[in-house]
Amino acid sequence: MVVGKPIFTVEQIQQRVRELAEMISKDYEGKNLLAVGILRGAFMFLSDLVRAIKVPLTVDFVIAASYMKEATTGEVKVYYDVREDVNDKDVLLIEDIVDTGITLNHIRERMLQKRPRSLKICAFLDKKERRVVDVPLDYTGFEIPNEFVVGYGLDYDNRYRNLPYIAVFRKSV
């Protein structure tokens, strides 16, 4: 198993996080921002992002995992849902990576049923060419090609999440 060279370095990640936080801070001025991190992968991105956002906010989490049966069908299991009442909140879902879109779409629809005041999505990485379900992304860190990546919260078999950069992962050389 091989972790390649960084495709996004610590500096590139931090720069992009600052840019996203600036956009979000502008858009959410005077609003009631609730940042909802989708765990486990988004923990690192969420913690960097909220520290760089300059408007008041609250934080909550959703813990979810998807299980692929076939390439186009996935079952999403939610292990923990937000505790905050979202009716008066401008919810921003924060995701590490969007691949088929199945996980995020499921969480988005579930959140919409709770009738938040508004709902937007911020995803750090977007593997656009893999998309099966169309899910609207309001803020995106980087688009990446169809490669499996690890680091900055992203895992292979729950490992490599602690790498401070993002690298391509291959099972064999």
How far, CA to CA in Å, does 65 sit from each of 68, 85, 109, 137?
A: 10, 23, 15, 19
Rounded least distance, CB 16 to ligand IMP, Å: 17
Rounded least distance, CB 71 to ligand IMP, Å: 10
Rounded least distance, CB 102 to ligand IMP, Å: 4
In the bound state with ligand IMP, the residue whose beta carbon lies nearer, of 115 and 157, is 157
Which residues inside 95-154 make contact with ligand IMP, applying CB under 6 A? 96-104, 148-150, 154
Axis crossing angle, helix 43-52 with helix 10-27, rounded to the nearest 10: 60
Rounded least distance, CB 106 to ligand IMP, Å: 8
Clarify whether 90 is annotated catalytic: no
One symbol per residue from 26 to 65: x for binding ligand IMP (CB under 6 A), - otherwise; what is it?
A: ---------------x------------------------
User: What span, in angstroms and rounded, lies between the C-alpha atoms of 146 and 129?
Assistant: 7
User: What span, in angstroms and rounded, lies between the C-alpha atoms of 25 and 97?
Assistant: 22
In the bound state with ligand IMP, the residue whose beta carbon lies nearer, of 28 and 45, is 45
**Of 48, 90, 96, 99, which is the active-site residue?**
99
User: What span, in angstroms and rounded, lies between the C-alpha atoms of 168 and 145?
Assistant: 10
Q: DSSP class of residue 119?
A: E
How far, CA to CA in Å, does 1 sit from each of 17, 27, 153, 163, 171?
A: 29, 42, 18, 15, 4
- The residue among 135, 169, 171 whose CA lies nearest residue 154 is 169
Binding site for ligand IMP (CB under 6 A): 41, 66, 74, 96-104, 148-150, 154-155
Active-site residues, by number, are 99
